[in-house]
Structure 1
C-alpha cells in the first residue's frame, strides 16, 4: 500500500486489488473531534461521495468504478484511472476538451449534482473519454432557486480560477466551456453565468482591497 496523496479530509493509497491497480480513499479519524461525532461525519461523507459518483454515472459520465466501500471504516476502494488530466491537456494546447467538460458539468448541474472540486486535476482523459474523480465535496440540490444558481456558479469558479492562469487565452477557454454548458443546461445557464460574474467581481474587489 503506497500513499500517493494526502488531503485535509482523506488519504489516498495505491493498492493491489486481486491483481488490479486500485485506489483506496480513507477518511482517517480526527483526534481533535469528539469520537462519536467524528465517526458520523466520516461515515456520512463516505456514503455521500459514493452516492454522488453513482448519480454522475447514471447521468452518463465516466467515473471510477467502485469495487468496495465501508461507511463504518470510511473507506472507498475504487478503480485507478490512468491518463492525462485536464491541466496536462491544457498545457499541451489541447483546449477543445473544455467544451466537453462544459457539457458534462452542465449535465450534472441540470440534475442538481454539484461536483464540489472541479479542479483540472480531477478530470482525466482515459481511453478517449473524460473521467471525473473526487466527489467528496459534492452535494445534491433539489429544485431551482437563486441559492442553487450560486452554488453551481461556485462549482464552476473552481475551474475558472485555473483558466485565469492562461493569460490572453483565458477568455477563449472559458467560452469553450460555456458553449458546452449552455447546450446542456439551456436557458437556466444564464442565471448561473450572472451569479458567477457576481462572485468573480466580488473576489476581484477583495483582492484589490488587500493589496
Structure 2
C-alpha cells in the first residue's frame, strides 16, 4: 500500500497558506468529502469546529461526523508550531504529519493496528500542522478495563503485554504509551490499535532495556483505573513471554524489579491515597 500523500490530480492541494495531502490509495474519497474534510480542517485550525475534544501541551483536537457525504467520524489534531532548537532540526527532518504517515505505514506493514489517515496538512510559514484520522471503532484500554468482567480483563491485560512486546521486537518505541492511546477493538482474540504517533520511532534503541522499560512505565498509569499489582504483573509477564527463551528470564527480572519499585511507592501511601480518593472502595476481588 502506498502512503505517498497526493491530491486527486497527483499534486498537493493548496489553500489559504496551507498544503493538504490525501492518501493516494483511497478510492473512497469523493469530491464532496474532500472539500468537507478541508473545510473542517480550516474550522479546526481557526478553533470554530463545534466539537472540541481536548487541549494538550502541544496540540488541540477536534471531532466531526461525515455521515452525510459517505465519510467516517474523524478527529482533527492541530499541532502547534515548533520553537527553539527543535524548529532548527526541521531543516533536516520531515514534518510531524509526514512522519505520522510514514510510521503508520510501517506499523501497518508489521500488522500493528493504527488509525486510518484521512488528510494531512502543513502551514507553509507558521509551522502548524494538522492530522485527520478516522475514529477507531472500540474503546480505550482505560475505558474498557472499567467495564470489563474479571476474566475478560485478565485476558486483555496479558494480550496487551504481548502486543507491546511485539511492537518493541519489531524495532518501535511508542512516544506516549499511555492507556488513553491504546484502543481495544476486539476480544476473541484481543486486538489493539495504537494512536498518537508523532513521537513514535523505529530505532535501534528498541534493543536496549531502558527505552523499552520506559514505555512499560508509561503503562503504569493503569493504576488510575483500579488495576492491582497482580493485574500489572499480568501485563509485564505477557510482555516478557514474547521474547525468546534465552532473553525471557532477563526480561522477567526487569519487570519484577519494576513491580517491586511500584509496590514500594504504593506503600508510601501517596499513590494509594489518591487512587482510593478517586475510585472509592473496591468491590472486586483481585485474584491471581
TM-score scaled by length of structure 2: 0.58
Residues 156-165 or 79-88, more deviating: 156-165
Residues 78-87 or 123-132, more deviating: 123-132
User: Which of the two has higher C-alpha Rg?
Assistant: 2
Matched, 1:46 2:97: yes
Residue equivalent to 1:123? 182
1:72-92 Cα distance to aligned partner (Å, 9 max, x none): 552111111132221122222
SS of alignment partner, residue 166 of structure 2? helix
- Map 1:105-184 to 2 at 5 A: 105-126=164-185, 128=187, 129-142=191-204, 148-163=208-223, 166=226, 170-184=228-242
SS of alignment partner, residue 76 of structure 1? strand
1:24, 1:78 within 8 Å by CA — same for their partners in 2?
A: yes
Residue equivalent to 1:37? 87
Q: How big is the shift at 1:58? A: 1.6
- Superposition RMSD in Å: 3.5
Instruction: Could you tell me which runs of 5 or more consecutive residues in structure 2 were left unpaired when the two chains were aligned.
Output: 1-48, 271-288
Matched, 1:87 2:142: yes
1:36-84 Cα distance to aligned partner (Å, 9 max, x none): 9279399633333333322222221221111222355521111111322
SS of alignment partner, residue 185 of structure 1? coil
Structure 1 residues 163 and 26 mapped into 2: Cα distance closer, same or farther (>3 Å)?
same
Residue in structure 2 matching 1:4, options 41, 53, 62: 53
What CA distance in whole angstroms lies between the structure 1 residues aligned with 2:54 and 2:263? 29
1:85-125 Cα distance to aligned partner (Å, 9 max, x none): 21122222442211111121111100110112222121222
What CA distance in whole angstroms lies between the structure 2 residues aligned with 1:29 and 1:144? 28
Structure 1 residues 188 and 26 mapped into 2: Cα distance closer, same or farther (>3 Å)?
farther
1:26, 1:76 within 8 Å by CA — same for their partners in 2?
A: yes
- Map 1:190-201 to 2 at 5 A: 190-195=249-254, 197=257, 201=261
What CA distance in whole angstroms lies between the structure 1 residues aligned with 2:87 and 2:79? 14
Residue in structure 2 matching 1:74, options 129, 132, 142: 129
